[in-house]
Amino acid sequence: MPELPEVETVRRGMEPVMTGQTIQSAAVNRPDLRWPFPPRMAERLTGARVLGLRRRSKYILADLSTGESLLIHLGMSGRILISGAQVGAFHHDHPAPAKHDHVVLDMAGGARITFNDARRFGAMELLETALGDAHPLLASIGPEPFGNGFNETYLTARLKGRATPIKSALLDQQVVAGLGNIYVCEVLYRAGLHPARPAGKLSAKTVAGLVPLIRDVLAEAIEAGGSSLRDYRQADGELGYFQHNFRTYGREGEPCVTPGCSAKIARIVQSGRSSFFCPTCQR
């Protein structure tokens, strides 16, 4: 599933062709994805001007002139495809309609935004912009990793006394927004922490050190355009490249990259998810 860097990369790709533009027409080609589309969704989108695009955790939100916001979740295989406009160094003509093109937005400026989702685990919703983070889908999400609310004092307080493994704690969206399996594995490697270490037994100094590491890993991944595993592509169709910088994720049995370490990357399963780590460098 796309994590914060992939979602942020897609948002940045959409922004120049959507912000300030009017949705000239909207086509909704099926009744639902992960859950049903809102009633009259195409009608409510058509004619609306996009005031801005923002991200909350793994959601993209397009704020509209109608007082509503279009919420987008990519799910497991959802892709945003942009055609008919210059996106970075690329210009793509409108392709022929594809089987899994479920929502198509034609902008007044000539761009087309297509939501394609082969496995249909993605979602779209229309919500009142004024509700902000009070909407049920957003209300329980923790602070953004790059926001002022995510700091050493906050994280120390949230992890204090928790018996859950540190890997699971950082995956908890109520603790911090947007982190997923890939980037938590990479953060814990840089921190030298075994993924099964109880979160509540970490020292305040160790927990404080996680905050800049989380930001560094996410910033590097965004700069690289995210990580392309299976279905993920950037909005211009290009792959992300951070997977070439993985130090642990998906590297089971390969040598640890720490100079002088002779161990090989190991894998354990925690709550149904694979955790990759170096048994020597991470304690």
Q: Smallest Cα–Cα separation from 79: which of 228, 220, 181?
A: 228
pLDDT score recorded for residue 219: 92
Q: Is 88 left (phi over 0), alpha (psi -120 to 50) or beta?
A: left
Per-residue model confidence (pLDDT) at position 90 = 55
Catalytic residues: 2-3, 58, 273
Assess if CATH 2.60.40.1120 describes domain 152-277. Answer: no
80 and 105 in contact (C-beta within 8 Å)?
no
Model pLDDT, residue 19:
97
76, burial (CB in 10 Å: exposed 0-12, middle 13-18, buried 19+): middle
Instruction: Give the model's pLDDT for residue 245.
Output: 72
> Who contacts 244 (Cβ-Cβ below 8 Å, separation ≥6)?
224
Query: What pLDDT, on the 0 to 100 scale, is given for residue 231?
Result: 46
pLDDT for 232 equals: 40
Per domain, the residue ranges of the chain are 4-134, 152-277
Please, which residues bridge with residue 266 across strands? 277
pLDDT of residue 148: 97
220 neighbors 212 (Cβ within 8 angstroms): no
Burial class (CB in 10 A: 0-12, 13-18, 19+), 123: buried
Please list, in sequence order, all residues whose beta carbon lies within 8 angstroms of the beta carbon of residue 200, skipping any fewer than 6 positions away. Answer: 159, 160, 161, 162, 163, 164
pLDDT value at residue 95: 80
pTM exceeding the 0.85 threshold for the entire prediction = yes
What is the C-alpha to C-alpha distance for residues 42 and 29, in angstroms, rounded to an integer?
A: 10
Pick the CATH number of 4-134 from 1.10.3720.10, 3.20.190.10, 3.40.190.10, 3.40.720.10: 3.20.190.10
Residue 230 is predicted with a pLDDT of: 47
Tell me the CA end-to-end span of the chain in Å, nearest whole number: 28
Q: pLDDT 10s digit of each residue in the chain, 283 long? A: 688 988 998 999 899 999 999 999 999 999 999 999 999 999 999 999 999 999 999 999 999 999 999 999 999 888 899 988 766 555 567 888 889 999 999 999 999 999 999 999 999 999 999 999 999 999 999 999 999 999 999 999 999 999 999 999 999 999 999 999 999 999 999 999 999 999 999 999 999 999 999 999 999 888 877 654 444 444 555 544 445 578 999 999 999 999 999 999 999 999 999 999 999 999 9
Q: What is the DSSP letter of 250?
A: T
Contact indicator for 41, 31 with CB cutoff of 8 Å: no
